[in-house]
């Protein structure tokens, strides 16, 4: 089996890359003549030679010739390498799809790792019974939440072109005649020409509603169809293996922050949120209508030929009277009649008519009526798959499409209540109260059924907007269903009062209510967001104090004894470095889970991971594997944002693969499957102690540079394109929380994005080497670290992410950026620290992984980085030239032109390095 797997994995993408490159060269020749084509080929050759033989003379030659480039040729060269990298990404995705297909073409002795089939086989081979599988499925819950965090540098217009090229490349592979291949090649060349002739840079920041539209694109084109297939395939595989029908609940869902995330984004208002949900419903109803139209075309059975259920006939008669509509011109074709009536109700639902479907359950009831009737005359071992798919879609998407989370900063709620309580005469200055006094007051307010405010009260615009937000949440739940909005997230949660304040505001609009008998009704989860290292360490104390409050326990009972907690990977990593952040996140989850268990409360952790390695990024399945296993059984949420959306969910095959990997890992983890006794024991008490020691040393090393080195901020600002990123217009949110220049107010996204662009990737690895080596220097016990790497998924993911970061980083390129500092003493000193730490980290990581080179454990990714580097390097060198000029020139016209070219290089480098922010 391993030999066959190796054979499959050796399928190369070089043919696709060369094929697309040849077409690109023809486009370059047409658009820029021999000068452009020859220049690009020359730089490709020089850059490739540099990577194959890194002699200083090769690097100097490449850098010198790039410095000689002048506009307008320079801009065309930038764009050529950028498009080249975009086409490489497409070829790589096609390769991944082809690899999956080749596994599926093999006999059943060759199964792709972490596929659904692999997961089901593991269950069966480990003697997990059908009853245990059903129990595990009942605990299976994965919600992926798309956000508008600005790390996707590519315009949606260009992503659509990428999708068309990818589809054509797949068609070309299956075209068997010379004529068909010729036609497809012409179409690909046309698309690449259009790609070249399309402006890459957004002229202005997208509006929030534009971001909503961008997010809905993935639901419309891919997710609406792929999610039901994952569920159906799992159900079919379980039936084949266990010879028993095992129902797979709709465990896999998508949510969204776009239009609901207020933290630091003044453009998100209550009206924005409601309009977002209207767009969600508009799309999902449109998709249902399309699906029902297909089903109506298919189900032409006549009562002259088959016997249908009485319940179906009765429902048709009732609907025809109520809607005053026949449904279909041939009354004997009853399924078409019923589906016609259902389509009429969906149209009325969009209009909020009184004859509309009251909720998605009513639509499901009609679909089940059809299914039950079909079972009377259609072979049950060959169900109508389209009907199964539609039922699953309604179960997953309801009338809301994706659950919209609401997020706001804790300080905003405190300010609102301070004003309200002062105006109604309860507290002169709520904000200044001690925590215990705040809690006493908030509990008293929550226990009192009377409202604090009336429609006649007048407040500041900010407070009025907060009140409108909560009223909108209630209206949304009443209109679009309870699942339309389920969670209110509180950024920068530092105390118990931060959560109770939100409950008070929910009470004012009727989302939270205490009855005279003490019973509590609560329609909204309230979730703390633990972001900084300090917040994570204090998190267990907050949760225990919260669960000790009887009133809050009643709120939890009303919410099914479920508490959601969000963990912030971005700010914790920015605050304490990658190693310490990962360890504190792991430890906090474990501690809070123990507390919750003692109170009989279930926990759902929401992992706020970014796409980049410096913000908790990595493969979706790896994210799941690295969590404490006990935390997976009550449901998992993970953010999917920026360029991750296009890399995972632009193409159906890639989306399916990512989701099946996550499903397979989650299912086997919940079922308690491990590969060895050593894995079951991990993490041992000793392993935890070692990790704590490593983290402590790494934290000091990280903070000594980031917070205590006087020259660091100058280095960061001048040796990266941080200041130029703000002009990229890739998101509606500002780069900084308060518009200040304080490091604390800088968002984690530009922090990571800037380091990635300069090829230093410092947030993803810095200080890890010092932390890991400190243990080895003290004990010389490499065996324990290797055992931790082999048997503890958390530690393995940590080391493997370090490998990826070190592989993508390139300090020779990074050194060119350091020349932009106006103080070379600071530059040389800090860059020396970075180089020394890089070497230290690389050495210890290779020791622990027992490898000769980085990424030897994942040769496909290693090869991908190797092939990309010669295309990314020229863009980095050009970027340095441009930024250096930009920061010196004061002439407005020249500055604008230089900035545009800088932004083009940022786009190109982002395409080459993929997970950039």
Tokens encoding 266: 């003044």
Q: State the Cα–Cα distance between residues 517 and 205, nearest whole angstrom.
A: 52
Instruction: Say if residue 107's pLDDT is above 70.
Output: no
pLDDT of residue 674: 67
CB 579 within 8 A of CB 561: no
Q: What is the pLDDT of residue 736?
A: 53
**Predicted local distance difference test score (pLDDT) of residue 819:** 95
- Secondary structure of 8-29 in the HEC alphabet? HHCCCCHHHHHHHHHHHHHHHH
Give the pLDDT score at 680. Answer: 82
- Whether 335 shows a pLDDT value over 80: the answer reads yes
For residue 10, the model assigns a pLDDT of 43
pLDDT at 604: 95
- Strand 403-404 with 252-256, pairing: parallel
The pLDDT value recorded for residue 94 is: 87
> Mean pLDDT over residues 317-324, rounded?
96
pLDDT of 792-833, one tens digit each? 999 999 999 999 999 999 999 999 999 999 999 999 999 999
Rounded to whole angstroms, how far apart are CA atoms 206 and 277? Answer: 18
Is residue 520 within a helix (H) or strand (E), and if so which, with residue range?
strand 520-522
pLDDT given at position 826: 97
What is the spatial distance between Cα 666 and Cα 672, in angstroms, rounded to a whole number? 10
* pLDDT higher than 50, residue 149: yes
Buried b (16+ CB within 10 A) or exposed e, 885-902: ebeeeeeeeeeebbbbbb
pLDDT score of 2:
37
| 104's tokens | 């599926």
**237 closest CA partner among 330, 138, 120, 352:** 120
Q: Which of 149, 296, 338, 525 is catalytic?
A: 149
Q: Is the pLDDT of residue 7 over 70?
A: no
State the pairing for strand pair 142-147/252-256. parallel
Residue 301 to residue 309: CA distance in whole angstroms: 13
Higher pLDDT, 743 or 228: 228
What would the mean pLDDT of 9-27 be, rounded to a whole number? 82
In whole angstroms, give the CA distance from residue 409 to residue 492: 6
Question: Any idea which of 150-154, 465-469, 847-851 has the lowest mean pLDDT?
Answer: 150-154
Q: What distance in Å separates the CA atoms of residue 276 and residue 216, rounded to the nearest whole number?
A: 10
Model confidence over 287-307: pLDDT tens digits? 999 999 999 999 999 999 999
Choose between 738 and 552: higher pLDDT.
552
Whole-number Cα distances in Å, 423 to 331, 410, 418, 459: 65, 20, 9, 8
| CA dist., res. 777 & res. 262, Å (int) | 47
Of 648-657, 745-754, 881-890, minimum mean pLDDT range? 745-754
Give residue 829's pLDDT.
97
CB hemisphere CA count around 368 (13 angstroms): 9
> What are the pLDDT digits (tens) for 167-217?
999 898 888 899 999 999 999 999 999 999 998 877 777 889 988 998 999
Which pLDDT value is given to residue 273?
Answer: 97
Does 780 have pLDDT greater than 50?
A: yes
| Structure token pair of residue 750 | 């530009």
Cα–Cα distance measured from residue 706 to residue 577, given in angstroms and rounded to the nearest whole number: 9
Collapsed DSSP state (helix, strand, coil) of residue 31: helix
Read off the pLDDT of residues 249-271 as tens digits, 9 standing for 90 and up.
Answer: 999 999 999 999 998 788 999 99
pLDDT at 622: 81
For the chain, give every domain's residue range.
2-113+149-217, 284-397, 413-485+495-515, 680-913
**Torsion angle of the four alpha carbons 679, 684, 686, 687, in this order, in degrees rounded to the nearest 10:** 50
* Mean per-residue pLDDT, 100-114: 75
Question: Distance (Å, rounded) from C-alpha 246 to C-alpha 757?
Answer: 49
Region 124-143: what's the mean pLDDT?
92
The CATH architecture to which 284-397 belongs is Up-down Bundle (1.20)
Please tell me the least confidently modeled range out of 133-137, 457-461, 736-740.
736-740
- Phi-psi map region of 532: left, alpha, beta (phi>0 left; psi -120 to 50 alpha): beta
Q: What pLDDT was estimated at residue 738?
A: 54
Range with the poorest average pLDDT among 668-672, 704-708, 768-772, 884-888: 668-672
Task: Answer for the pair 503, 526: CB distance below 8 angstroms, yes or no.
Answer: yes
pLDDT score of 834 more than 50 = yes
Q: How many CA atoms lie within 13 A of 222 on its CB side?
A: 22
pLDDT for the residue numbered 33: 96
pLDDT of residue 694: 97
| 574 flagged as catalytic | yes
Helix (H) or strand (E) holding 796: helix 793-808
Is there a cis peptide before residue 632, judged by omega within 30 degrees of 0?
no
Angle at CA of residue 240, ends 234 and 243, nearest 5°? 120
**Distances, alpha carbon 808 to alpha carbons 13, 323, 419, 617, in Å:** 20, 62, 50, 14
Lowest mean pLDDT among 3-7, 168-172, 613-617: 3-7
Q: pLDDT digits over 391-434, tens only?
A: 999 999 999 999 999 999 999 999 999 999 999 999 999 999 99
The segment with the largest mean pLDDT, out of 325-329, 449-453, 669-673, is 325-329
Q: What is the pLDDT of residues 800-811, one digit of tens each?
A: 999 999 999 999
Element holding 526 (H helix, E strand)? strand 525-530
**How far lies 887's CA from each of 506, 736, 899, in Å?**
50, 21, 10
- Report the chain's mean pLDDT, rounded to a whole number: 90
Q: What pLDDT, on a 0 to 100 scale, did the predictor assign at position 1?
A: 34
Q: How far apart are CA 695 and CA 60, in angstroms?
A: 40
Query: Among 170, 221, 231, 574, which one carries the catalytic annotation?
Result: 574
Q: Is the pLDDT of residue 153 over 60?
A: no
pTM listed for this prediction = 0.90
Q: Return the minimum-mean-pLDDT range out of 510-524, 536-550, 737-751, 835-849.
A: 737-751
């Amino acid at each position: 089996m391993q030999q066959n797997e190796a054979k499959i994995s050796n399928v190369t993408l070089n043919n696709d890359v060369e094929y697309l490159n040849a077409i690109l060269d023809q486009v370059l020749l047409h658009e820029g003549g021999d000068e452009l084509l020859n220049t690009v080929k020359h730089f490709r050759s020089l850059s490739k030679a540099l990577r194959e033989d890194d002699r200083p003379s090769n690097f100097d030659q490449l850098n010198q010739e790039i410095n000689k480039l002048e506009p307008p040729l320079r801009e065309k060269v930038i764009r050529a390498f950028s498009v080249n990298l975009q086409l490489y990404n497409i070829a790589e995705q096609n390769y991944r799809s082809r690899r999956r297909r080749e596994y599926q073409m093999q006999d059943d002795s060759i199964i792709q790792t972490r596929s659904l089939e692999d997961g089901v086989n593991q269950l069966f081979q480990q003697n997990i019974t059908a009853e245990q599988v059903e129990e595990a499925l009942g605990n299976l819950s994965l919600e992926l939440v798309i956000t508008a965090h600005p790390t996707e540098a590519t315009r949606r217009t260009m992503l659509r072109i990428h999708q068309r090229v990818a589809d054509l490349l797949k068609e070309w592979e299956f075209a068997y005649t010379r004529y068909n291949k010729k036609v497809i090649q012409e179409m690909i060349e046309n698309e690449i020409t259009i790609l070249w002739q399309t402006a890459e840079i957004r002229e202005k920041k997208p509006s929030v509603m534009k971001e909503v539209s961008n997010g809905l694109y993935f639901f419309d084109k891919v997710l609406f169809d792929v999610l039901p297939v994952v569920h159906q395939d799992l159900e079919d595989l379980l039936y084949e293996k266990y010879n028993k029908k095992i129902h797979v609940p709709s465990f896999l869902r998508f949510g969204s922050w776009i239009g609901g995330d207020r933290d630091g984004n003044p453009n998100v208002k209550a009206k924005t949120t409601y309009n977002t949900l209207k767009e969600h419903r508009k799309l999902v109803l449109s998709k249902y209508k399309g699906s029902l139209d297909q089903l109506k075309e298919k189900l032409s059975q006549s009562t002259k030929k088959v016997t249908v259920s009485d319940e179906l006939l009765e429902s048709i008669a009732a609907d025809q009277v109520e809607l005053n509509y026949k449904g279909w011109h041939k009354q004997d074709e009853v399924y078409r009649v019923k589906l016609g009536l259902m389509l009429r109700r969906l149209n009325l639902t969009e209009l909020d008519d009184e004859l509309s479907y009251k909720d998605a359950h009513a639509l499901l009831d009609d679909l089940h009526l059809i299914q039950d009737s079909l079972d009377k005359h259609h072979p049950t071992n060959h169900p109508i798959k389209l009907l199964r798919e539609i039922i699953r879609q309604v179960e997953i998407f309801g009338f809301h499409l994706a659950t919209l989370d609401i997020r706001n900063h804790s300080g905003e709620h405190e300010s609102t209540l301070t004003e309200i309580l002062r105006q109604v005469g309860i507290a002169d200055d709520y904000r200044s109260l001690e925590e215990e006094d705040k809690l006493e007051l908030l509990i008293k307010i929550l226990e009192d059924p009377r409202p604090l405010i009336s429609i006649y009260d007048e407040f500041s615009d900010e407070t009025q907007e907060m009140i409108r937000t909560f009223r909108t949440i209630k209206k949304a739940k009443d209109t679009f269903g309870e699942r339309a909005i389920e969670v209110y997230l509180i950024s920068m949660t530092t105390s118990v009062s931060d959560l109770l304040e939100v409950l008070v505001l929910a009470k004012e609009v009727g989302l939270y209510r205490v009855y005279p008998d003490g019973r509590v009704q609560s329609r909204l989860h309230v979730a703390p967001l633990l972001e900084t290292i300090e917040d994570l360490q204090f998190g267990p104390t907050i949760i225990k104090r919260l669960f000790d409050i009887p009133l809050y326990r009643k709120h939890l009972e009303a919410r099914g004894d479920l508490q959601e907690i969000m963990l912030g990977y971005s700010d914790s990593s920015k605050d304490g470095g990658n190693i310490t952040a990962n360890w504190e996140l792991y430890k906090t989850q474990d501690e809070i889970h123990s507390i919750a268990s003692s109170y009989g409360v279930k926990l759902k952790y929401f992992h706020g991971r970014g796409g980049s390695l410096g913000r908790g990024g990595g493969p979706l399945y790896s994210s799941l594997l690295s969590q404490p296993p006990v935390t997976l059984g009550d449901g998992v949420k993970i953010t999917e944002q920026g360029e991750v959306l296009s890399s995972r969910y632009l193409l159906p095959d890639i989306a399916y693969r990512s989701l099946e990997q996550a499903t397979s890992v989650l299912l086997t983890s919940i079922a308690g499957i491990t590969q060895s006794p050593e894995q079951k024991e991990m993490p041992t008490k000793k392993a935890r102690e070692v990790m704590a020691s490593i983290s402590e040393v790494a934290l000091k090393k990280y903070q000594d540079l980031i917070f205590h080195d006087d020259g660091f901020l100058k280095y960061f600002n001048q040796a990266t394109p941080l200041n130029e990123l703000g002009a990229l217009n890739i998101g509606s949110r500002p780069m900084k929380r308060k518009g200040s220049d304080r490091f604390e107010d800088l968002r984690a996204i530009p922090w990571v994005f800037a380091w990635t662009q300069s090829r230093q990737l410092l947030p993803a690895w810095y200080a890890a080497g010092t932390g890991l080596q400190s243990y080895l220097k003290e004990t010389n016990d490499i065996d324990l670290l290797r055992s931790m790497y082999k048997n503890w998924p958390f530690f393995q993911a940590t080391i493997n992410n370090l490998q990826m970061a070190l592989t993508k980083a390139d300090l020779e390129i990074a050194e060119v950026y350091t020349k932009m500092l106006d103080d070379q003493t600071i530059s040389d000193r800090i860059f020396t620290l970075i180089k020394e730490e890089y070497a230290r980290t690389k050495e210890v990581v290779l020791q622990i992984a027992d490898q000769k080179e980085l990424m030897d454990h994942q040769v496909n990714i290693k090869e991908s980085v190797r092939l990309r580097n010669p295309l990314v390097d020229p863009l980095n060198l050009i970027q340095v030239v441009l930024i250096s000029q930009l920061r010196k020139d004061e002439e407005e016209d020249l500055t604008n032109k230089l900035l545009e070219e800088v932004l083009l290089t940022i786009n190109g480098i982002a395409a080459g390095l993929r997970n950039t922010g």
